[in-house]
Structure 1
Amino acid sequence: MRLSPSLFFTTGCEPALAFYEQCGLGRGAILLRWGDDMPVRTEAMRGKILHARFEGPGVLFHASDNDDAEPMKGSAMMLEFEDLAVMRELFARMAVGGRITVPLARQYWGTFFGMLVDAFGVQWMFSCSGE
């Protein structure tokens, strides 16, 4: 068994995935669109992302556009690192256009940790036990 989270966007899935790819998180491996050999619920969804699989080193999640999607809250995507410099670089790239909610710093439990909400409303947690 493996847990593979799925991110739901209303109509911003494709730019979000492009942003994550640009940041160096990975790339979209599967991309199916509403209306391509399948029905659409509404014409406004035609061409939007029905299903995407996003993969990178140690990263796997799914994503889609759903015009009835609930705003993202109550969960976060957790990225764990062994290299602090690598984590700092990705944190800075993913914070562009978003909001840092916990600045990267060594926490009382001993690891470096930070949180942000990216430009697409997804919450990310970053943790590094290394230096």
Structure 2
Amino acid sequence: MATSVNPYLLFNGNCEDAFLFYKSVFGGEFSFIGKFKDMPAGEPGSCPEVSEKDANRIMHVSLPIGDTILMGSDSNEQSGDVAFGGNFSVSINVESAGEGDRIFNGLSAGGTIYMPMGKTFWGAYFGMFKDKFGVSWMVNFDENQPK
């Protein structure tokens, strides 16, 4: 198996909503989705005790998108709330300008667009935005790809 890098997003209780939204745009099925209440007590990797507040939060979710797996979870009382920062973006490379528009329009709904999809000086069709969950995204179609 080759080494791979996959983005892992952390949320403060709305991970399931975010991933259902991402699934509605990208399609596919979750390869895994589990809540903190589903963890077997006393097993390696389990939290010692799950509060009622955390029971229905997402412990882990995986959504395959092409050769990448977008992963995520919610914070819990032990980890504390996640402070969202502007120091990362999820970059999606697509196979056509039309697919780029579809993904950009879907994911940016209700969010903040920083750079609408458009041609760039470096030969890409590209756009940037923050989605309604506070996650920054870049959508890229390399127009000058080798055939």
Give the TM-score normalised by the residue count of structure 1: 0.90
- The number of aligned residues is 131
Secondary structure of 1:17's counterpart equals: helix
Map 1:19-38 to 2 at 5 A. Answer: 19-36=21-38, 37-38=40-41
Unaligned ranges ≥5, structure 1: none
> What amino acid maps onto 1:34 in structure 2?
F
Instruction: Name the counterpart of 1:121.
Output: 134
- 69 and 41 in structure 1: CA distance in 2 versus 1, 3 angstrom threshold: farther
Verify: 1:95 aligned to 2:108, yes or no. Answer: yes
- Shift in Å at residue 98 of structure 1? 0.8
Unaligned ranges ≥5, structure 2: 42-46
- Max Rg structure: 2
What is the percent sequence identity of the aligned residues?
A: 25
> What amino acid maps onto 1:78 in structure 2?
S
- Shift in Å at residue 113 of structure 1? 0.9
8 A Cα contact 2:6 2:69, kept in partner: yes
Secondary structure of 2:37's counterpart equals: coil
Q: What do residues 70-89 of structure 1 show as CA deviations (whole Å, max 9, x unaligned)?
A: 21420000001221011111
Q: What do residues 74-111 of structure 1 show as CA deviations (whole Å, max 9, x unaligned)?
A: 00000012210111111111111111111111112121
The one of 2, 5, 14 aligned to 2:4: 2
Instruction: Name the counterpart of 1:65.
Output: 74
Verify: 1:12 aligned to 2:14, yes or no. Answer: yes
Partners in 2 of 1:10 and 1:55 — Cα distance? 22
Instruction: Name the counterpart of 2:51.
Output: 42
8 A Cα contact 2:10 2:75, kept in partner: yes
- Shift in Å at residue 57 of structure 1? 2.3
Give the TM-score normalised by the residue count of structure 2: 0.81
- Shift in Å at residue 41 of structure 1? 4.6
Verify: 1:56 aligned to 2:65, yes or no. Answer: yes
Secondary structure of 2:143's counterpart equals: coil
Structure 1 runs of 4+ aligned residues shifted over 4 Å read 38-41
